Structure 1
Amino acid sequence: MHTQLAATLLLGVLLIDPAAAQQPMPTPAALSERIKDVGSINAAGLSALKPGTILFTDHRDTPANPESGLIPYLDWGKARPAERAALAPYPAYAEPDYTITVNGVSKPRHETLKVYVAQGRFVLPKAPEAVDLSSYATLAFVSKMDPVIRHKALSPADVTPTKDPAAAFAKRPDRPWCAPGTVCIESRYDLEGKLPLGVKLANRLEDGASKKVAEFVSFQSELRILPPAEAAGLTALTGIDAPVAGGLEQTIFWVNQILRFGKFLAVVQPVPGEPGKSVVTTYMALAIKADVLERKQEYARVPVLKNLLPAQVLMGNSSFNTGTSISAGLPVYARNRLAAFAEALAKN
């Protein structure tokens, strides 16, 4: 029962909200007026993209379909290989294989994932060297985002994949998480709106269960400025024929419920032929455990929970989705956070 309630908790885990650190966030109506939905960001020309306008896509061909916009992890690598290479926890990341024990019997398990990816693009009327991404790569800055998400510094020694290397966490093969030069963060988000009631109902229905649903989501992440050599390779991802001036990345490598990983990535390049302007391409990716999305029958017998199916809540198609932030569902939240990030860079 816990799977679908957790789906909504994680909507706000990843995307950095710079505007909240500097000024009140614009109203959702003002934000939506700035966003132009397109089928493909990379196919849209830069010449017609004016400062103040944001191109946006999350590949949702049929928004009313609960799982439209989600792609199986393996299919993601085949359909958009540059995107998967940049937005997975690390380039060689694979769906986890691990061992579970049921009634004293151990057996192997392969976990399949589905990925939500939102992409945005906007132009700034200033040169790339005037865009200071390092001012966003601090714990103090991240702590000023959405006030309902609390953050604190995390010791690299306390990183979950490091402490429990046998578990199905995203332990890096090339280096440890939170290596020198990165910011290591532990975060907590307490459920809002109608969701705490849903958690209480779920826990009551599973009164004998050994593991109760948490009324919060906790997660660990690494925030860093990409090294120049690593950032340089992102031109294949953005599709813009111009050198990369900088990249900002926040990777969620451990979450207590529903997700396996998440990433926010921002890439700054000069506008080709216009060195006094910058084009910023942003990405938000969340990998959801596929078995969570497939759990439906157990809710059908409970009228109040019929609209709490994981895919519906996650994609903002449930009566439990309210407001304009995390509780509204991932697509609305991603759009608003992208617009807030664009505004922060424009005013910084």
Structure 2
Amino acid sequence: MAICTGAAAEEFRLEDVPAVAGVPIAEIKPRTVIFADQRNDKLADSSTGLIPFDDWARSRPVQRRFLSLFASFVEPTLNQQTKLKLSVYHAEARFRLPRPATALDLSRYANVAFLEQIDPAVKHRPITAGDAVPNKDAGAAHNRPPNRRWCEDETAICVQSRYMFEGKIPAGIQLANKLRDEGKKPIPDFIEFQSEITLAAQPQLAELPSLTGLDSTVAGALEQNIFWVNQVIQFGKLLAVLQQHPTEPEAAIATVYILIAVRNDVLNKQREYTNTPILRNLVPAQLLMGKSSFNSGDSLSAGLPKYARGRVKAIADMMERE
């Protein structure tokens, strides 16, 4: 996962809206990203700002189809009686580009260089199908599609990425580890994850207008599936859909979706921090939603809302400059 760092005069301006689909295409201003996330959604849990996965999947089946790790994904079963419950952070954005959709080549972004440009704080290295954890670890097999293994498609690239927490978070984690029982595994001061980056193909391309709500030709779609994470997060998805502008032949519309599925057991287990004054703001839900005094910077340490905003702005800037 990645984010834009820093601000510059030529960057896109971000405008928060209640819902992306509620803004007429004709009203999207040049160099403006309209952005919405689920924090005020009627389905969101008031204590976390996240939506329970089951509620999201049941009430928004089209989103579930395209934005889950794969279309048939369900919450994993830990044993015969217990499911691993998840909650999701969902954000979407839309912006206008001043050239026909067919003039934009999304294959330029299906590489490590693209990830490095939009967040220098995250370090990446290529991996193969043999390195992908869900392909070889039975404990992570629930994150593998039923009909294939990750990273075997010749048109896709796979990477292992690491992000070291910034600001006060590492010191907070170090203190939390000192207060934990000696037998418990230490909390890492980094997030490590594996992902596959690929271009969508038919018939998915022809079906994507049902997700975007925009009735125009889809010229391409770039997809990043985060299929393994070392802590807190179960999976992640970025989907960027490029469509021809419905009424302007010399313009395109891009819609970007970000979905992060979080483990509820981690959110609940570490609520004990609220009883320790110095760690009260290290509760994972607060950190994830950018509501902690430990949040800082522009990357994941800033929390998901700021992270998502920065990432879509970075993508918009790169597409605009193409």
Taking structure 1 as the reference length, the TM-score comes to 0.86
Q: 1:42 aligns with which of 14, 18, 21?
A: 21
CA contact (8 A) 2:271 2:283 kept: no
Q: How does 1:242-321 map to 2 (within 5 A)?
A: 242-295=216-269, 297-321=271-295
SS in 1 for 2:143: coil
Deviation at 1:139, TM superposition (A): 2.0
Decide whether aligned partners of structure 1 residues 297 and 141 sit closer, same or farther in structure 2, where only a CA change above 3 A counts. closer
Please tell me the residue identity of whatever aligns with 1:141. Answer: F
CA contact (8 A) 1:89 1:262 kept: yes
Matched, 1:88 2:68: yes
Q: Please, which runs of 5 or more residues in structure 2 have no aligned partner?
A: none
Distance 2:249 2:293 in 1: 47
Q: Which residue of 2 aligns with 1:73?
A: 53
Matched, 1:157 2:137: no
- RCO comparison, higher one (Cα < 8 Å, 6+): 1
Q: Which moved more, 1:290-299 or 1:212-221?
A: 290-299
Deviation at 1:313, TM superposition (A): 1.0
Q: Which residue of 2 aligns with 1:230?
A: 204
Superposed CA RMSD in Å reads: 2.1
SS in 1 for 2:21: coil
Q: 2:189 aligns with which of 174, 191, 215?
A: 215
Q: 2:102 aligns with which of 129, 132, 137?
A: 129
> How many aligned positions are there?
319
Q: Which residue of 1 aligns with 2:304?
A: 330
Decide whether aligned partners of structure 1 residues 41 and 145 sit closer, same or farther in structure 2, where only a CA change above 3 A counts. closer
CA contact (8 A) 1:66 1:315 kept: no
Please tell me the residue identity of whatever aligns with 1:83. Answer: Q
CA contact (8 A) 1:66 1:312 kept: no
Identity %: 42
Decide whether aligned partners of structure 1 residues 229 and 299 sit closer, same or farther in structure 2, where only a CA change above 3 A counts. same
Q: 1:56 aligns with which of 30, 35, 38?
A: 35
Deviation at 1:309, TM superposition (A): 1.3
Distance 1:166 1:329 in 2: 28
CA contact (8 A) 2:237 2:259 kept: yes
Distance 2:93 2:212 in 1: 10
Distance 1:30 1:199 in 2: 37
Deviation at 1:299, TM superposition (A): 1.3
Decide whether aligned partners of structure 1 residues 174 and 322 sit closer, same or farther in structure 2, where only a CA change above 3 A counts. same
Q: Deviations over 1:148-171 (max 9, x none)?
A: 211011011121111113445401
Q: Deviations over 1:188-241 (max 9, x none)?
A: 111111111011111111151241111211111000011132222110000000
Q: Which moved more, 1:149-158 or 1:205-214?
A: 205-214
Q: Deviations over 1:126-150 (max 9, x none)?
A: 0011111111001233233322211
Q: Which moved more, 1:309-318 or 1:144-153?
A: 144-153
Distance 1:60 1:301 in 2: 25
Matched, 1:26 2:10: no
Q: 2:159 aligns with which of 161, 185, 191?
A: 185
CA contact (8 A) 1:66 1:317 kept: no
Deviation at 1:242, TM superposition (A): 0.6
Distance 1:269 1:205 in 2: 52
Distance 2:139 2:166 in 1: 33
SS in 2 for 1:219: strand
CA contact (8 A) 1:96 1:168 kept: no
Q: 1:344 aligns with which of 301, 318, 322?
A: 318
Q: Deviations over 1:112-138 (max 9, x none)?
A: 100001100000010011111111001
Deviation at 1:328, TM superposition (A): 1.9
CA contact (8 A) 1:169 1:253 kept: no
CA contact (8 A) 2:133 2:140 kept: no
Please tell me the residue identity of whatever aligns with 2:48. Answer: E
Deviation at 1:40, TM superposition (A): 1.2
Decide whether aligned partners of structure 1 residues 218 and 169 sit closer, same or farther in structure 2, where only a CA change above 3 A counts. farther
